């Protein structure tokens, strides 16, 4: 065990400051005389982007497996498989001499327009947190570190380097932080990467509340916080906030600024030492695992295909799929020849090989004839000739398979999507081909939702294949031919149109700010509340078999919040093929003081079933499954009362509802103050009894003033009691001061004194 305190005590101030800044684009500063090795990091998240020379930026990276991006991973809802992919990623890191892989990204898909959605998991924090934790656990199980990013509230590319995400405390805690919280608490990533943006006016890199109070103190994060590349503006302020390691380096001026700040007393050396301690801790931890060996690229390619297969979402199928051995298949769309399997930007991997969708289809098509037409060009020009050619081919075929990939100018890191649409050429192509050939299946490659209303009725089937990684072509072909029964489900809602989306009127913001005006209502939470029709709901995905749910039950109909409960349901494969079902558990709070979403995902399981087979699925729900974050108490609270446990095949396909009764064990502090309303006084467990005599007097005075019938309490054409309840006690006392004969503040102070005594 390395004695870090000993090393720190022997380090010069200059060495400490230098350690807190990168030596290069991808490495830490080694200190030979003290035996401190160099640590190497690389992007991430769905492959290893290791440049040959880590001391240089921008070179082409070494070949590595390009696994499916998070868009596909999320749709698998498969913790075990994601863990396995993590282990394979780690093996490649060991081979390519990478100590820390920069990923996963756990930001929420707040809007379909975020250019980087393909790198993020979901619109739901629970699902994102579970899968991020699985990936981290898989990678770190092999002695390779991870960097959970981008912390926090980085949900768009527009002005990502400076925009301030204006988000209220409850929304932050319930939507934008939980995926990070889950991953930090249960998977302990070795590093966390702060985001570029500001959060409520302060750069994430200088955000003491986020980096130190919440991440390190509250969640117990023991690793190091690294800046996103170029996210540091004021190095000293960042250190004070808890940003340990600035990247990229070298940055001699910032190093000197840190030295000067310590010398002048502006920065306590203890603060610097704490960052040094955290960095050394991870540097030595990574050094424990030798970086050597090889990886089996064929096996990893096969695993990449397996993940892609598991994440394919069959959105629509009128019976065309699986294909019934058509003799002539028209294969249309550039993406059939040029697989669109990853997104642009820092996550771009140099793949070990890339399967071609057309060829993969051919190997499964037996002696059927496959013909190809490009369908749409690489650029944004409109080419009617390509459409005409595709229509000609389709007419003479038994089936048309249309490979439609969203072009990179419409989706990438660095900029947001201009709209939710396919290109005009692609839409025209789909319509024209489907008109000529009713047996058409559309295969989509994209990282987030696309609008379909204009063409959705035309194809017989739609397969969402995401950015499916280098081996995704085989997964598509397997699903089309029925060698794989599709089992992915949507980790994000497919809305009907852009203007329906929750952040629409607040996106992308302007004047340096983006307001998260929709609050906790993102994704299905919003569509549920608005009762708004969507194209495909969160959690949706078809199979070639059918599943029946029965015997939904809970371990205890009445339970204490701290005990939680277990939900069970029997799931039967009622069709003729083996298949996998994703069972989803949502929680609905029947009544709460603050508004809550209609339902929230709190558990899920993916279960494999042979035809006719039944399995019991049991899903535990803990305290947090029932709690919400109360900004008044600044904590997660439960409220005693009735909840419904909803067990569904999707968020819109609930197969069983079990009512339960929660007993809250919380002893919450009293929130009554000089501004509290009559209702708050009456309903408060401590304030109610204290307030009762005053309340009686107020009511009597009210009745005297307005001459109302005591029983009815109605006058002036309104419900006097309703009127009274919404008024602050202070205001009503001010009106009644003369009748009561006592100063308002004196009465309030007296009541509050009794409550807080």
The secondary structure of 505-564 as a DSSP string is: GGSS-BTTEEE-TTTT--THHHHHHHT---SB-TT--B-SS-EEEEEEEES-SEEETTT-
Closer residue to ligand BGC in complex, CB, 2/408? 408
- Contact between 313 and 486 under an 8 Å Cβ cutoff? The reply is yes
Q: What is the DSSP letter of 215?
A: I
Q: How far apart are CA 604 and CA 299, in angstroms?
A: 29
Residues of this chain, 177-236, that bind ligand BGC according to CB under 6 A = 228-229
The active-site residue out of 43, 228, 310, 416 is: 228
Closer residue to ligand BGC in complex, CB, 205/440? 205
The SS3 of residue 41 is strand
Closer residue to ligand BGC in complex, CB, 101/184? 101
> What is the closest distance, in whole angstroms, from the C-beta atom of residue 370 to ligand BGC in the complex?
39
Q: What is the DSSP letter of 174?
A: I
> What is the closest distance, in whole angstroms, from the C-beta atom of residue 53 to ligand BGC in the complex?
15
Say whether residue 285 binds ligand BGC (CB under 6 A).
no
Token duo for residue 596: 């809550």
Query: What pairs with residue 427 in β-bridges?
Result: none
Q: How far apart are CA 585 and CA 596, in angstroms?
A: 17
Q: How far apart are CA 158 and CA 181, in angstroms?
A: 25
Q: Which among 272, 140, 83, 116 is positioned nearest to 197, based on CA atoms?
A: 116
> What is the closest distance, in whole angstroms, from the C-beta atom of residue 571 to ligand BGC in the complex?
38
Q: Which among 376, 442, 380, 449 is positioned nearest to 417, based on CA atoms?
A: 449
Closer residue to ligand BGC in complex, CB, 104/656? 104
Query: What pairs with residue 510 in β-bridges?
Result: 513
> What is the closest distance, in whole angstroms, from the C-beta atom of residue 112 to ligand BGC in the complex?
20
Going residue by residue from 87 to 106, which x/- string records binding to ligand BGC, judged by CB under 6 A? ---------------x----
A 10 A CB-CB count for 297 gives 16
Closer residue to ligand BGC in complex, CB, 110/149? 149
- Contact between 598 and 588 under an 8 Å Cβ cutoff? The reply is yes
Residues of this chain, 25-64, that bind ligand BGC according to CB under 6 A = 43-44
Token duo for residue 110: 């707040």
- Contact between 697 and 740 under an 8 Å Cβ cutoff? The reply is yes
Active site residue 260: no
Cα→Cα distances 374→371, 388, 402, 732, Å: 10, 11, 10, 75
> What is the closest distance, in whole angstroms, from the C-beta atom of residue 41 to ligand BGC in the complex?
8
Query: What pairs with residue 373 in β-bridges?
Result: 332
> What is the closest distance, in whole angstroms, from the C-beta atom of residue 191 to ligand BGC in the complex?
11
Residues of this chain, 530-589, that bind ligand BGC according to CB under 6 A = none
> What is the closest distance, in whole angstroms, from the C-beta atom of residue 36 to ligand BGC in the complex?
23
> What is the closest distance, in whole angstroms, from the C-beta atom of residue 241 to ligand BGC in the complex?
19
A 10 A CB-CB count for 716 gives 10
Q: How far apart are CA 503 and CA 518, in angstroms?
A: 6
- Contact between 124 and 538 under an 8 Å Cβ cutoff? The reply is yes
The secondary structure of 704-726 as a DSSP string is: HHHT--TTT-EETTEEHHHHHHT
Q: How far apart are CA 358 and CA 370, in angstroms?
A: 8
> What is the closest distance, in whole angstroms, from the C-beta atom of residue 507 to ligand BGC in the complex?
19
Closer residue to ligand BGC in complex, CB, 414/620? 414
Q: What is the DSSP letter of 387?
A: H
End-to-end CA distance of the chain: 52
Say whether residue 301 binds ligand BGC (CB under 6 A).
no
Closer residue to ligand BGC in complex, CB, 246/426? 246
Q: How far apart are CA 205 and CA 199, in angstroms?
A: 10
Q: Which among 340, 369, 346 is positioned nearest to 444, based on CA atoms?
A: 340
Closer residue to ligand BGC in complex, CB, 147/423? 147
Burial class from Cβ neighbours inside 10 Å (0-12, 13-18, 19+) for residue 126 reads buried
Closer residue to ligand BGC in complex, CB, 50/285? 50
> What is the closest distance, in whole angstroms, from the C-beta atom of residue 131 to ligand BGC in the complex?
17
Q: How far apart are CA 423 and CA 342, in angstroms?
A: 18
Q: How far apart are CA 22 and CA 443, in angstroms?
A: 43
Say whether residue 346 binds ligand BGC (CB under 6 A).
yes
Q: How far apart are CA 465 and CA 443, in angstroms?
A: 6
Closer residue to ligand BGC in complex, CB, 43/528? 43
Helix, strand, coil % (nearest 5) of the chain? 35, 20, 45
Token duo for residue 72: 């596909």
Closer residue to ligand BGC in complex, CB, 248/713? 248
Closer residue to ligand BGC in complex, CB, 21/78? 21
Q: How far apart are CA 5 and CA 7, in angstroms?
A: 5
> What is the closest distance, in whole angstroms, from the C-beta atom of residue 11 to ligand BGC in the complex?
27
> What is the closest distance, in whole angstroms, from the C-beta atom of residue 249 to ligand BGC in the complex?
13
The SS3 of residue 69 is coil
Residues of this chain, 123-152, that bind ligand BGC according to CB under 6 A = 149
Residues that bind ligand BGC (CB under 6 A): 43-44, 102, 149, 228-229, 346
The catalytic residue positions are 228
């Amino acid at each position: 065990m390395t004695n870090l305190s000993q090393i720190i005590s022997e380090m010069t101030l200059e060495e400490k400051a230098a350690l807190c800044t990168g030596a290069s684009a991808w490495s830490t500063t080694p200190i030979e005389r003290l035996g401190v090795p160099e640590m190497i990091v690389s992007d991430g998240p769905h492959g290893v982007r290791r440049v040959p020379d880590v001391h240089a930026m921008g070179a082409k990276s070494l070949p590595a497996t390009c696994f499916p991006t998070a868009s596909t991973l999320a749709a698998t809802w498969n913790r075990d498989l994601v863990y396995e992919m993590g282990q394979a990623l780690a093996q490649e890191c060991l081979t390519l001499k990478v100590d820390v892989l920069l990923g996963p990204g756990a930001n929420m898909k707040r809007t379909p327009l975020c250019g980087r959605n393909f790198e993020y998991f979901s619109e739901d924090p629970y699902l994102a947190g579970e899968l991020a934790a699985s990936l981290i656990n898989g990678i770190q199980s092999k002695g390779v570190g991870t960097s959970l990013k981008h912390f926090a509230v980085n949900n768009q590319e527009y002005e990502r380097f400076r925009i301030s995400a204006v988000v209220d405390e409850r929304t932050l805690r319930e939507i934008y932080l939980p995926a990070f919280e889950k991953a930090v608490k249960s998977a302990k990533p070795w590093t966390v990467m702060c985001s570029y943006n500001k959060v409520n006016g302060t750069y994430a890199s200088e955000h003491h509340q986020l980096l130190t109070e919440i991440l390190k103190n509250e969640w117990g994060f023991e690793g190091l916080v690294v800046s996103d590349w170029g996210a540091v503006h004021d190095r000293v302020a960042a250190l004070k906030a808890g940003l340990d390691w600035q990247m990229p380096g070298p940055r001699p001026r910032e190093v000197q600024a840190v030295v000067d700040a310590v010398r002048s007393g502006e920065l306590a050396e203890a603060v610097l030492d704490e960052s040094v301690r955290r960095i050394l801790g991870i540097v030595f931890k990574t050094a424990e695992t030798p970086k050597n060996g090889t990886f089996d690229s064929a096996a990893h390619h096969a695993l990449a295909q397996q993940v892609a297969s598991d994440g394919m979402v069959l959105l629509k199928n009128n019976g065309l799929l699986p294909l019934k051995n058509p003799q002539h298949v028209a294969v249309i769309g550039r993406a059939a020849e040029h697989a669109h399997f990853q997104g642009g930007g820092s996550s771009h991997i140099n793949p070990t090989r890339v399967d071609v969708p057309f060829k993969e289809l051919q190997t499964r098509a037996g002696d059927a004839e496959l013909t190809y037409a490009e369908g749409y060009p690489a650029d944004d020009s409109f080419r009617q000739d390509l459409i005409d050619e595709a229509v000609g081919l389709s007419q003479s075929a038994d089936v048309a398979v249309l490979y439609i990939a969203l072009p990179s100018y419409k989706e990438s890191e660095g900029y947001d999507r201009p709209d939710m649409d396919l290109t005009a050429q692609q839409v025209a192509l789909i319509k024209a081909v489907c008109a000529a050939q009713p047996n058409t299946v559309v295969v989509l490659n994209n990282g987030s939702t696309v609008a379909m209303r204009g063409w959705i009725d035309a194809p017989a089937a739609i397969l969402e294949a995401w950015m499916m990684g280098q081996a995704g072509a085989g997964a598509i072909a397997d699903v089309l031919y029925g060698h794989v029964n599709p089992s992915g489900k949507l980790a994000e809602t497919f809305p009907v149109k852009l203007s329906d989306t929750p952040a629409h009127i607040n996106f992308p913001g302007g004047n340096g700010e983006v307001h998260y005006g929709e609050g906790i209502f993102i994704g299905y939470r919003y569509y549920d509340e608005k009762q708004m029709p969507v194209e495909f709901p969160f959690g949706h995905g078809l199979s070639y078999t059918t599943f029946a749910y029965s015997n939904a039950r809970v371990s205890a109909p009445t339970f204490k919040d701290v005990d939680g409960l277990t939900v069970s349901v029997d799931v039967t494969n009622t069709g003729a093929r083996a298949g996998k079902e994703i069972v989803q558990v949502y929680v609905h709070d029947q009544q709460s003081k603050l508004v809550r979403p209609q339902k929230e995902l709190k558990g899920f399981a993916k279960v494999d079933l042979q035809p006719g087979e039944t399995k019991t699925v049991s899903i535990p729900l803990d305290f947090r499954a029932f709690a919400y974050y109360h900004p008044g108490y600044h904590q997660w609270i439960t409220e005693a009362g009735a909840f419904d446990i909803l067990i569904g095949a999707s968020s819109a396909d609930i197969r069983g509802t079990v009512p339960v009764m929660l007993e809250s064990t919380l002893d919450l502090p009293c929130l009554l103050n000089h501004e509290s309303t009559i209702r708050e006084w009456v309903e408060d467990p401590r304030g109610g009894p204290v307030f009762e005599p005053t309340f009686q007097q107020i009511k009597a005075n009210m009745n005297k003033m307005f001459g109302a019938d005591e029983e009815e309490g109605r006058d002036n054409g309104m419900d006097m009691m309703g009127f009274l309840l919404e008024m602050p006690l202070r205001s009503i006392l001010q009106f009644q001061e003369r009748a009561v004969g006592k100063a308002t503040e004196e009465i309030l102070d007296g009541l509050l004194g009794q409550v807080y005594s």
